[in-house]
Structure 1
C-alpha cells in the first residue's frame, strides 16, 4: 500500500514540475508574461501545498500503522496561510501578476490530482485490482 502511495506522490510531483516548466517558458517567451507569472506564482504555492499535504499524509499514515498518537494535523493552517500570502503578493504587485491567473495557479495541484485519478480510472491502472 505504501508503494502505491509513493508512486502516486512521485507521479503528481512530476506533473507539477512539468507544469511549472511550461509556465516558466510561457512567462519568458510569450507576450502574456503577466498571466503566466500569475499562473507561475499560484502554481509554485500549489506545489508547496501539494508537497506539504503529501508529507503530512505520509506521516499520519505511518503513525496510524504503528499505533502511535498523531501530533498535529494535515497542515491545513500552513496551506491556508501560504495561499493568503500569495493572494496578498498578487494584490500588492498586480502590475506583475494577473490575479485570476494566480487563483487558477493555486488550484493547479488539485487539477493535477483530479486528472491523475481520472487517468487511472479511464486506463484501468488501478493497483487495488492487482494490476
Structure 2
C-alpha cells in the first residue's frame, strides 16, 4: 500500500496548507468565528482521513495474512464529526456552525480535486509520449 501512503501524504500536505490559509484569515480578518469554524472542521476532517487511511492499511495487512478485520472505524469518524458540531453549537460566538460543517468536508474536496488533477496530468503525459 505505498500508493495509499503517498496519496495520504500529498492530501495531508494540501490540507495543512489550507489550514495555514485559514489561520491567516483568522489572524488578519474580522471573520474570526468563520475561520475558527473552518479550522476546527478541517482538523476533524484531517483526523478522519488519517483514521480511514490507517484502518485501510490495517485491512490490507489483515487480508493479505488471512486474518479477520473488525471495522473501518466508521463510528469513530462519525463521533468526531458530531463532537465538532457539538462544540460549534455549544460556543456559537466562537465557532460558526456552517463553517465547521464545510471544514469537515474539506478532505473529501481535496481527495476529489487531487484525483481530477492526477487524471488530467496522466492523460496529458500519455499524449506527450505519443
Name 1:88's counterpart in structure 2: 86
Q: Kindly report structure 1 stretches of 4+ aligned residues shifted beyond 4 Å.
A: none
CA contact (8 A) 2:89 2:97 kept: yes
Query: Is it true that 1:100 corresponds to 2:114 in the alignment?
Result: no
Calculate the TM-score normalised by the size of structure 2: 0.90
1:120 matched to which residue of 2?
118
Aligned-pair distance for 1:3?
A: 2.2
Name structure 1 gaps, 5 residues minimum.
126-131
User: What SS does the aligned partner of 2:72 have?
Assistant: coil
Q: Quick check: which one's helix share is greater? A: 2
Quote how far apart the aligned CAs of 1:33 are: 1.3
Corresponding residue number in structure 2 for 1:41: 40
Provide the residue aligned with 1:51 in structure 2. Answer: 50
Q: CA deviation at 1:117?
A: 0.7
Unaligned runs of 5+ residues in structure 2 are 124-130
Aligned positions, number: 123
Question: For 1:55-74, what aligned pairs fall within 5 Å after superposition?
Answer: 55-70=54-69, 72-74=70-72
Query: d(CA) in 1 for partners of 2:104 and 2:2?
Result: 28
